[in-house]
Amino acid sequence: MNKIVVVYKSKYGSTKKYAQWIAEESKADLFEHSQVDIKKLMEYDTIVYGGGLYVSGIAGISVITKNYKALKDKRIIVFTVGLASTDRKEVFSPIIEKNFSKEMSDSIKFFHLRGGIDYKKLGFIHKSMMAMLKTVISKKDSQELSDDDRELLATYGKKVDFTDKSTLKPLLLFLEK
């Protein structure tokens, strides 16, 4: 039997929502990342890890990367949840390079999903970081702006939610294999 576990770290809830959907659809066990250790993870054949993106870091990913030696013969799937649109591979290659060794990235299967942001709910540090990012983007020439830059400027200070269950289809199909 293929025993599946979904583990996630979510600061504001988007990653948690996707993790719950995946666990429901694949009848997997579900844990917040602080509830698992290597002993728990070793009980499963397939590990799905989801983390929110914060300045290109994947929240809580060390539970996989630090334990990779013990986990490497398992099927590992990592999904990231961020604001950036997910159709541009060039955005995600550096994120994978930053968070994983070559050995890890060759054997882990990655999926990228869109989350959301509610500026009212951001903590002080995150609010300041987003304000700095807005300042940097605002200084760019308009020809230099990416679609994501334009979207950030248009939605800055507001609430946006791009979470969409249907975007999980490729991940769920992969899990069925």
Ligand X SMILES: Cc1cc2nc3c(=O)[nH]c(=O)nc-3n(C[C@H](O)[C@H](O)[C@H](O)COP(=O)(O)O)c2cc1C
109 SS3 class? strand
Q: Which helix (H) or strand (E) holds 6?
A: strand 4-9
Answer for which of 4, 5, 10, 76 binds ligand X (CB under 6 A) is 10
The verdict on 130 binding ligand X (CB under 6 A) reads yes
- Fill in the per-residue mask, 97 to 116: x = in contact with ligand X (CB under 6 A), - = not in contact: ------------------xx
The verdict on 55 binding ligand X (CB under 6 A) reads yes
Q: What gap in Å lies between CA 112 and CA 164, rounded to an integer?
A: 12
Answer for which of 4, 5, 6, 14 binds ligand X (CB under 6 A) is 14
Answer for which of 15, 58, 61, 77 binds ligand X (CB under 6 A) is 15
Of residues 61, 95, 98, 62, the one with CA closest to residue 78: 61
Of residues 62, 36, 171, 67, the one with CA closest to residue 111: 171
The verdict on 172 binding ligand X (CB under 6 A) reads no
Q: What gap in Å lies between CA 33 and CA 43, rounded to an integer?
A: 15
Contact residues: ligand X, CB under 6 A: 10-15, 52-56, 59, 81-84, 115-117, 122, 126, 129-130
